Structure 1
Amino acid sequence: MSIVVDSQQEQYALSERPIQFGFFAMFKVLRRNWLWLTLAMLLGLGAAYQALQVIQPKFAARSTIILANVETRINPTETTIENSDTSLIHVETEIDLLRSVEFARKVASELNLISDSYFNPYLSATETPVPNQDQQFEAVLVRMLDSYTVERRGESLALDIRVRHPDAGMAAQLANTLSKTYIESSLREKKEVVQSSISELRDRIALLGGRLSEMEARLAALIRDNELDDTSLGDELRAELGRLTSIMSLAGDQNASSIRVNEAELRLAEVEKKLEERTRAELTQSKLQRSLDADLARYQALVERRNALETQVDFLQPDARQVTVASAPLKPATPNRIAILALGLAGGLIVGLAFVLLRELFDRRVWTGTQTMQYLGLRTIGYVPRIRFWRKRDKQDLFLSKTSRQENSPYQLALRSLLTLLSNQMRKKDSMVMAVTSALANEGKTTLTFSLAVSAAREGHRVLMIDLDIHRHGLTRMAGCAIPKDTPQDIWQDQKTIDEQIVPCARFGQVNLLSFSQDVIVPRRLFDTPRGKAILKKLRATYDVILIDTAPVLAADEANRLAALADFVILIARWGRTSEDALGTAAEALRYNQVPLAGVVLNDVDMRRYSLRDYGAHRVGGYYAYNNSYIYKSPQ
């Protein structure tokens, strides 16, 4: 028995589907999904239009202040005013100050924004209970901080204060008030810092003056009590000490009387004590004098600092000046209709692209022959175009017309191409036994089997159709024959019985039909017995083409029992409907049951749409795609 099987199909294994990127791949994806993209962009435009109806128009006002080139600050250590170049850190700090809650609180209080319905949403609210004043004011601060921005203009010291408000006059007033409040606050805070430093210096001067007075009193008492103002007294005591020391030395050498020695010793001890006390008092005086001099110098320095600050406090300048005064704008700045519509269009396009890419990524349906080979390892041997007809009741006439009356229709060309491909791959000269099956129901296998039979008959072949789809008998119904009551066991065991059950379909040429009873069991070894093989051999000798229509592989088991009956099996996949998983599982089931699989036929192909996915249909199916515009109309 000849087997038409690709080596890649024998090694079939369901693989993960890679994601393909490239210009032509993306172009084809966008081309075949242009309707979804257009719909998404229209939805984006509609959403943008609805947003424009909801967004409240706002006017924009701008005031500009320029920070001073020199930064003035108080040195907390020296309590002096220092000037330095304005740094980037200082600029960023001032921007943060302008955006702070405390600064916004000052401006809101000055303008009484709690009575503005835009800033205070509770004024127009109908809910009860109404929040208290503090809660309302906090809501005002939140809305106010959202209504203005502070931006630095390049690398300069200019700061732009931009305000948006539904009222043009209020927008300009708020912008100017922000600038004015900042300038006045900076000067006021700077003066407060200087006044605080002056007050601190005054307190330190008073404290140090009291300490100086106390030290002077202690020094005067020390001098008075120890007669330190008499500078000669110390010299006299030292001279007396020297004289008594000499007397004591002479008395010891000459063995003087003990009385005189004792007197001299007492006098010496007294002089030493007085000299020691005077020396200690002089040291204390020197220490007190040094402390007094240091405190006096410190006192004079503090006085000088206080005098300098008191002189400079009236000459302090604010940290900024306003160079641009905001005026009431004439037209609203937001919403920008063109920008919002463009954003809606771009957003719709992005959403559409995301939807299309996800749709393509998760679309596991079979669309191309390249897809079946690349992802499933199954060769595609034919492409059968879609048949269009006006009314469903014309179906019988349709098939007769497509397969008999119009030999050059796209459908007929596809059938002849498929028959030629299959017959050329047969390695023997006798008849061809071909089984047709699919993964699931309603994929067009019965229709294709019937069409192949009529097409082969038109070429002069003797054709036998065997309807093994015993559950639906679609082939029998399509041929217009009655369903017999005999089982496969009864018919297949006797050649005479088979000849009696074969029904000619003269309307379609040399086409004959063999059918069995409905919903019966086909024995597993029915076609593999010696008698069954002999009968099959006789049928091969009688007919040129034998077509077997079987139930779907994943729905019933008949297709897996054809290894001994058919030369090969073709697997039908409905274009754009059969999933890769179903097709791959069906092929795997046939392979495990040693059923020779010739390949896959894509059925019901819309060739115009197929060209948006793959340009390789001509490789197997011929050039019939160009004439796919034909639409059948029933004869009048």
Structure 2
Amino acid sequence: MHVVGLRETISLVRRRKYFIAIFVAASLAILAIALASTSNRYTATAGLVLERKEAPMLEAVTELQSEERDRSAVETQMDIISSRVLAGRVVDALNLVDHPWFNTYLPVDPESLGLLQVIRQKLSQAAAAIGLDLWNEPKKLPPVSVQRDQAITNFLAKLSVTRSGESFAVFVHVSTPDPELSAALANTVAKVYVTWLQDIKRQAMSDAVTFLRDRAGQIAARIADNERKIADFSRLNDLASEARDDVLRQQIDGTNQQLTTARGELAAIQARREQARLLLDRADEVEGATLTSPLLTTLRGDLARIIRERAQYASNLGANHPQVLKADAELTSLSKMIDGEIHRILEDLAGEERIAADRVRQLETQIGDLKGQLRDRGLAEIRLRELERDLLADQKLHDLIVARLGGLDPYAEITRPSAQVVSVAAVPTQPAFPQKSRIMLGGLIGAALLAVILAVGLEAVDTRIRSAQRIAQVVQLPNLASIPRLKQPWFRREHRDPLTHLAEAKRSSYTEALRSLYLASAIRLPMARPALLFTSPLDSEGTAEVAAGFAWAAANDRVRTVLVDLDPRSGLSDGSADANWPGLASVLTGQCTLADSLRPLSGIPGLDVLHGGFDHDRTPIDFLSSQNMRWLVEELRASHEMIVICCAPVLILEDADGLAPFVDGVLLVARFGRTSEQELASAANRLRINHAPLIGAALSDVDPHGQPDQQALSAANYPRRAKAYLGR
């Protein structure tokens, strides 16, 4: 990322100095016109202090309101001061509806008009003269209510309310072109606000007393009604004594005990019945059963005895003995009798179970009824307590209202506002706006900063060539030299022939740059008696000056040089000693020889000039065929050691493309801050298509202080030191 430093910023400012200067001057001119058309505004300030605590009287209206004013309360009062309601009172108090500064529907005094308003008035008068209405001005005044609303709006535009930090001091500012009117308005706003607060409190106090008196009567009637309701409710629900609750709870406890006993008996009966059922299902377990009755016990004893006797008979007499068979018959009979007894016991247990279950249900129902009675009494007591609380609240509220009424009545006609004026607005002596010196200074700084920002933006989108490095990046050609700009006095900027200037030139950074170009080109032209073509993408790129300077540097190096001017608009022949000297056109038409057309320069020994001598509507390529061009180059090589050809721009005429095959090198000239990257690249591509022997480029008219970088340093980068060193 490239970081723009101070040096590059200064360079940017130097490159765009004219744009910055014009922009700043235009901005200051517009600002000066705006200030001239703006009338002075005087600001008067009145101070108010809001009370930190409200008066005790107001507490009756603002129940549970905090005594301390918070920030929102103060800001609310500031909004009230700047409200349309209060502004309307001020407008009515000072009759601002009749003032043209506030009621813009009224005609304005010509002496109080600003510059822009005067211009507008003149335009309106001129348009009215021809029957036009530019501003849609009303033909007649609107209703008074509309005028009053307009006066309120314009007054609020001149009013502002501020506070100092978190304090309770509020300042009212009014700005108008009239200092006395500003002071009168500020004081009126403060006075009207204080009076308005006092009226509001007085009305609120009166309303509060009336309301509290009505409310006290309503609450007294409600207290009497609640007392009657409590007495009736207590009588209907038998809530006079709490002993009944104790009896109900004792009954519930006793019934719960009976219910528990009944449930235990029911469970025992169900267990015995289940046991009897199991005995019937499994007759082999009768011996171990716990189910008993007198008969069942006797039968079980007989059964055990017969079982023993049968066992003895079976062991002594055999299984088929009559005694054994008799014992089996008795066993069968006893088993049937035992089963019958068990069935009887089961029936008895079923009856007992039904009786126990019915008793349990009766006890549960009785307990539910008792609990319902107790619950109903509880709800009735809750309702009774609610009625008692309502009665107590109404009694307290009634006492509070009566007490407040006793405190309010003595002050019903005496109210003190919650704000007071502590600072009366004085008549201002100095205008608050516009502060012209500060505004002009700020405008100058702002315009300069904005101009620099715009210059940076223009620089970002500017693709014009300003450095040798950029030439190498765009066309892949080395920049052989950067020719500095020739400085001329502002009072003497006439056009001069480059050759005439070079003949009179002394050693300087400009001539050293030309020598640098010559030396760099000579290294790239190792052949003997080379021909070098100078061209540029477009006109006015400094091709003629660079070509003339190159020829001058070669002549100073004791090299016999000829400068061939094939650009009809180069200006090399302007200001010559003999403007009618025959040129190349005369040679080609047979009017003179080539030697006669060569004009030596007395101020530059070893340099001859061959002008084209062509009409402006025709170019050298119209006369120079390939054979003529080859003949011309050969003839010039026979008499000179260096041939310098100045040709027309590449992107305008095809002369350079046609002459490229007959020269040993082509040098592309770009002008600093004028030739764009696209133009330079297009010219180089055009020459490469025609196989022109490009050896490099030259950057002309370079401003050393306007270069974005200083990588290729030369004497042009140090003009002061070079001038001091050369003694000029």
TM above 0.5: yes
1:103 and 1:348 map into 2 onto residues whose CA distance is 42
- How many angstroms apart in 1 are the aligned matches of 2:103 and 2:211? 43
Distance 2:564 2:440 in 1: 64
Q: Report what 1:150 is aligned to.
A: 161
Which residue of 492, 495, 505 maps to 2:598? Answer: 505
Paired position in structure 1 for 2:519: 420
Match of residue 178 from structure 1: 189
Deviation at 1:409, TM superposition (A): 6.8
CA–CA separation in structure 1 for the residues paired with 2:422 and 2:611: 101
CA contact (8 A) 1:573 1:600 kept: yes
**Residue of structure 2 aligned with 1:339, choices 433, 438, 443:** 438
**Displacement of 1:62:** 1.9
Which one has more relative contact order, counting CA pairs under 8 Å at least 6 apart?
1
Q: Secondary structure at the match of 1:176?
A: helix
Q: Give 1:535-614 correspondences, 5 Å limit.
A: 543-561=640-658, 564-604=661-701, 610-611=704-705, 613=707
Conserved? CA contact 1:570–1:600, under 8 Å: yes
Query: Residues 376 and 64 from structure 1, CA distance in 2 versus in 1: closer, same or farther, beyond 3 angstroms?
Result: farther
CA contact (8 A) 1:81 1:309 kept: no
Which is worse superposed, 66-75 or 120-129?
66-75
Given residue 150 of structure 1, which amino acid in structure 2 is its aligned partner? V
Equivalent-residue separation in structure 2 for 1:512 and 1:221 (angstroms): 139
Query: Who is 1:113 aligned against?
Result: 96
The answer to whether the Cα contact below 8 Å between 2:562 and 2:643 also exists between their aligned partners in 1 is yes
Distance 1:500 1:381 in 2: 36
Moved more, 569-578 or 207-216: 207-216
Alignment of 1:17-32 (within 5 A): 21-31=4-14
Structure 1 match to 2:533:
435
Where 1:559 maps in the other structure, the secondary structure is helix
Change (3 A) 1:510 1:486: closer
Q: Whole-Å Cα distance in 2 between the matches of residues 620 and 96 of structure 1?
A: 71
Which structure has the bigger radius of gyration?
2
CA contact (8 A) 2:667 2:698 kept: yes
Using the alignment, how far apart are the partners of 1:329 and 1:111 within structure 2?
19
Query: How much identity, in percent, do the aligned residues show?
Result: 26
Tell me if structure 1 keeps the 8 A contact 2:161–2:171.
yes
- The structure-2 alpha-carbon separation of the partners of 1:287 and 1:550, relative to structure 1 and needing over 3 Å to count, comes to closer
CA contact (8 A) 1:71 1:319 kept: yes
Spell out, residue by residue over 1:412-445, the C-alpha distance to the aligned partner (whole angstroms, 9 max, x if none).
55444322221133445x2222111111123342
Output aligned runs, 1:479-494, within 5 Å: 480-484=581-585
Which residue number corresponds to residue 103 of structure 1?
86
Which digits, 9 at most, give the CA deviation of each residue in 1:538-575, with x for residues without a partner? 97576422323333111123323555433321112234
Distance 1:132 1:505 in 2: 95
Matches within 5 A, 1:399-478: 399=499, 401-404=500-503, 408=507, 413-428=512-527, 430-450=528-548, 452-453=550-551, 456-457=554-555, 459-464=557-562
Q: Which moved more, 1:129-138 or 1:335-344?
A: 335-344
- 1:86-235 counterparts in 2 under 5 A? 86-124=69-107, 127-193=138-204, 195-211=206-222
SS of the counterpart of 1:328? coil
Equivalent in 401, 404, 412 of residue 309 of structure 1:
404
Q: The residue matched to 1:70 in structure 2 has which SS?
A: coil
CA distance in 2, matches of 1:568, 1:620: 26
- Kindly provide the amino acid, as one letter, of the partner of residue 403 in structure 2: A
* Equivalent of residue 448 in structure 2, options 349, 356, 366: 349
In structure 2, the residue matched to 1:386 is: 486
Greater mean deviation of Cα atoms: 131-140 or 18-27:
18-27
Cα distance in structure 2, aligned partners of 1:52 and 1:78: 53
Counterpart CA distance in 1 for 2:526 and 2:149 is: 91
> What is the alpha-carbon distance in structure 2 between the residues aligned to residue 220 and residue 414 of structure 1?
124
What does 1:265-344 correspond to in 2, within 5 Å?
Answer: 293-313=388-408, 314=411, 318-344=417-443
State whether residues 198 and 306 of structure 1, in contact with CA within 8 Å, keep that contact through their aligned partners in structure 2.
no
Contact kept, 8 Å, 1:163 with 1:171, in 2: the verdict is yes
Q: Return closer, same or farther for 1:176/1:460 CA change in 2, 3 Å cut-off.
A: closer
Separation (CA, whole Å) in 1 of partners of 2:655 and 2:155: 78
Q: What is the CA–CA distance in structure 2 between the aligned matches of 1:624 and 1:56, rounded to whole Å?
A: 51
Residue 586 of structure 1, CA deviation: 1.5
Q: Separation in 2 of the partners of 1:393 and 1:31?
A: 25
**Residue pair 2:585, 2:612 contacting (<8 A) in 1 also:** yes
Matched position secondary structure for 2:4: coil
User: For the Cα contact (< 8 Å) 2:234–2:384, is it kept in 1?
Assistant: no
Check whether the contact 1:79–1:305 (CA below 8 A) recurs between aligned residues.
no
Report the AA paired with residue 438 of structure 1. S
The Cα of 1:19 is off from its aligned counterpart by 8.4
User: Structure 2 regions of 5+ residues with no counterpart?
Assistant: 109-136, 245-373
Match status 1:68 vs 2:51: yes
Contact in 2 for aligned 1:40/1:352 (Cα 8 Å): yes
Q: Is the 8 A contact 2:612 2:620 kept in 1?
A: no
1:402/1:412 contact within 8 Å kept: no
Give the structure-2-normalised TM-score: 0.61
CA gap 1:46/1:323 in 2 versus in 1, 3 angstroms: same
Moved more, 104-113 or 449-458: 449-458
Q: 1:102 to 1:510 in 2, by over 3 A?
A: closer
Q: CA deviation at 1:64?
A: 1.7
Between the aligned partners of 2:95 and 2:385, the Cα distance in structure 1 is: 62
Please tell me whether the aligned partners of residues 71 and 83 of structure 1 are also in contact (alpha carbons under 8 angstroms): no
Structure 1 residue aligned with 2:294: none
Distance 1:77 1:377, change over 3 A: farther
What per-residue deviation string (whole Å, max 9, x for no partner) do you get for residues 107-136 of structure 1?
333333323333222232585221222221
Decide whether the 8 Å contact of 2:40 with 2:434 is kept in 1. Answer: yes
SS in structure 1 of the partner of residue 105 of structure 2? helix
Amino acid at match of 2:543: K
CA pair 157-307 structure 1, distance change in 2 beyond 3 A: same
Tell me the distance in 2 between the aligned counterparts of 1:454 and 1:287. 124
The 1:54/1:552 distance shift into structure 2, 3 A limit, reads closer
Q: Deviations over 1:138-194 (max 9, x none)?
A: 211222112222111122221112222333443333223322333343344345445
Looking at structure 1, the residues matched to 531 and 36 of structure 2 have their Cα atoms a distance apart, in angstroms, of 70
Query: Offset at 1:298?
Result: 3.7
The 5 A counterparts of 1:509-524 are 509=606, 511=608, 513=610, 518-519=618-619
Deviation digits for residues 439-484 of structure 1 (CA, Å, limit 9, x no counterpart): 1123342454355445534544344555665x76977998933454
Aligned to 2:129: none
Give the stretch that moved more between structures: 44-53 or 71-80.
71-80
1:60-112 C-alpha deviation (Å, 9 max, x unpaired): 32222222223579999998354432222222222222222233223333333
Asked if the contact 2:587/2:597 (under 8 Å) is kept, the reply is no
Contact 1:387 1:604 in 2 (8 A): no
- Whether the 8 Å contact between 1:367 and 1:610 is mirrored in structure 2 is no
Which residue of the partner structure matches residue 267 of structure 1? none
